[in-house]
Chain A
Amino acid sequence: MEQSPEALSYSTEDVISFPAGIPGFEGAREFVIFTRPEHEPFHWMRSVSESAAQFVLINPLQFRPDYDPVVPSSEIRDLDVRDPKELLLYTIVTVNDDMSKSTANLAGPLFVNIRTRVGKQLLVDDPRWSTSERILP
Chain B
Amino acid sequence: MLVLTRKPGEAIHIGDGIVITVVEIDAKSCRIGIQAPPSVPVYRAEVYKRIQEENRRAATPAQPDLLAMAELFRKRED
Asked if A pairs with B, the answer is yes
Listed in ascending order, the chain A residues whose CB lies under 8 Å from chain B are: 1-3, 8, 19-20, 22-25, 36, 38-42, 44, 51-56, 62-63, 74, 77-78, 92-95, 99-100, 102, 105, 107-108, 121, 123, 125, 131-132, 135-137
Q: What bracket does the count of chain B residues touching chain A fall in?
A: 20 to 34
Quick check: which of B4-12, B26-34, B64-72 contacts chain A, the rest being far away? B64-72
Closest to A55 in B: B58
Q: Are A105 and B51 in contact (CB under 8 A)?
A: yes
State the CA gap A121–B41 with chains docked (Å).
Answer: 10
Listed in ascending order, the chain B residues whose CB lies under 8 Å from chain A are: 38-41, 43-44, 47-48, 50-70, 72-73, 76
22 residue pairs bridging A and B, Cβ less than 8 Å apart: A2-B63, A8-B63, A20-B41, A23-B55, A24-B56, A24-B59, A25-B55, A39-B67, A42-B69, A42-B70, A44-B66, A55-B59, A56-B64, A63-B73, A99-B72, A100-B72, A107-B47, A123-B43, A125-B43, A125-B44, A132-B54, A136-B76
Prevailing SS type, chain B contact patch: helix
5 closest A-B pairs by CB: A24-B55, A39-B66, A23-B52, A131-B54, A24-B52
Contacts of A44 in B (CB 8 A): 63, 66
| Given A55-B60, A131-B50: A1 touches B55 (CB 8 Å cut-off) | no
Q: Are B69 and A54 in contact (CB under 8 A)?
A: no
